[in-house]
Structure 1
């Protein structure tokens, strides 16, 4: 009788622990979904800094020479010395002397800034 009571108390402890673990995993998953998105920043050969923010789970940025290539949310964005391209289409010209370029992707919209000033908005 005593052995059976000891076994059932261990089973209760295991059930409580398992329940708490599952709740912690659910809360962690909810936090990850709520804070999904990414950010990347890099400096090009000319000294220009390029910063990309996206609400997508995947953000792939490559900084090579004087060009930044950003792949996120189904977009292929390219920042060249004097142009902003999305999916191989020119969206805007920028001053080649611009020291910083910002790219923000949110809800199928891309907003471009150069030296803190708005340059263009692209909507899909």
Structure 2
């Protein structure tokens, strides 16, 4: 592979990775703690072939995830928009059981800060229903 071809491939790989960063998980948006599919660890694997075709494997956050179709569509749209990508194929990896351990450390910190803020604004008391409020 020539130096210019290697540089172009590296550019394309960086652009594909950046495209993943533009796809947010819909449930995290609804929870007001937006996280990308990369931050959540939903992109299990991806390969770029010599013809510009990108093969991507993603896992849902739960077996009953009803928004995985939206996530796949978002990934397809963002990756297809990358200059140099000729095709995008996304496969759902239902065999991988997602857990918070798959999240990036930065994402776990972001989620923890969001939770701490929620708890601070609406404190929960143990067995608060027994005291009438």
> What TM-score, normalized by structure 2, do the two folds share?
0.30
Q: Which has the higher strand share?
A: 1
TM-score by length of 1: 0.31
Name the structure, 1 or 2, with higher relative contact order (CA <8 Å, separation 6+).
2
Structure having the higher helix fraction is 2
